[in-house]
Structure 1
Amino acid sequence: MYNHIMIPVDLHMPPEVQKATAVATEIAKWQSAKVTLVSVTGMQPGEALQTDEAIAESLSALADEIGKLSGTEVETRNIHSVDVAAEVDGDLAKAAEEIGADLIVVGTHAPRITDYIFTSHAGKLAQHSKVSVFVVR
């Protein structure tokens, strides 16, 4: 049913990303689907500078772990962004199309008061993506 799963990854690995990654790993194993980890990074005020090498190393370590657990091919992709908060949704939807993903598995938090005013990143991705989106809470 699914041949290529994209997992958006926040390299800080909050619990929502960890849960989504676990679900995506099981789906990939079940479907024998290729997996691509996609990270959108940029320099936010107050954040420590992450080098391209450090980002690649973090993504590679996660890819190795998912590959071992799922038994499938895992690739990585990092997208540099000037303003991650504003561009992440569009960048992820575009990346899914470019890599030919047919499923995006993304983590989200429980709804907060602001989510009734502004859509979460996962919600926006689900609304605007041309491929299926599995949102894990």
Structure 2
Amino acid sequence: MYNHIMFPVDLHLPPEVRKAAHVAAEIAKWQGAKITIVSVTGTQPGDPVQTDATIGDNLREFADHLAKSSGTEVAFQNIHSVDVAVEVDADLAKAAEDIGADLIVVGTHAPRIMDYIFSSHAGYLAKHAHVSVFVVR
């Protein structure tokens, strides 16, 4: 049913990401699907500047952990963004098409006041992605 799962990741690894990672691993194990971790990074105020090497190391470590728990192939990709806050949603939707994913598993939080004004990242993907989206709360 599913062959390629895209798993968007915030490298800060909030609880929503960890829970969704478990779900992605279980679906991949069940379906025999490949997982591609996709991260969108850029320079943001208050965040320490990370080099491409550091980002790659963090993604590789997370991919290795996910591969171990799912027993399937896990790849990773980082998308560099000039303005992550503005571009992340469209970047993730485009990445799903570019890598040929047929399912996106994404973590989200309980709705907050701003989510009634602006869509969450998971909400945006559910509305705009051209593939199935499994939202994990």
TM-score class normalised by the smaller sequence: over 0.9
Shift of 1:113: 1.3
Q: In percent, how many aligned pairs have the same letter?
A: 73
Instruction: Write the distance in 2 (CA, Å) between the matches of 1:52 and 1:117.
Output: 34
Deviations 1:2-44 (A, max 9, x none): 0000000000000011111110000000100000000000000
Deviations 1:52-105 (A, max 9, x none): 011000100111111111111110000000010110010001000000000000
Matched, 1:123 2:120: no
Q: Which residue pairs with 1:68 in the alignment?
A: 68
- In the superposition, the TM-score normalised over structure 2's length comes to 0.98
Gaps of 5+ in 1: none
Instruction: Write the distance in 1 (CA, Å) between the matches of 2:113 and 2:76.
Output: 34
Q: Which residue pairs with 1:9 in the alignment?
A: 9
- In the superposition, the TM-score normalised over structure 1's length comes to 0.98
Shift of 1:45: 1.0
Matched, 1:19 2:25: no
Q: Which residue pairs with 1:110 in the alignment?
A: 110
Instruction: Write the distance in 1 (CA, Å) between the matches of 2:19 and 2:80.
Output: 24
Displacement over 4 Å in runs of 4+: none
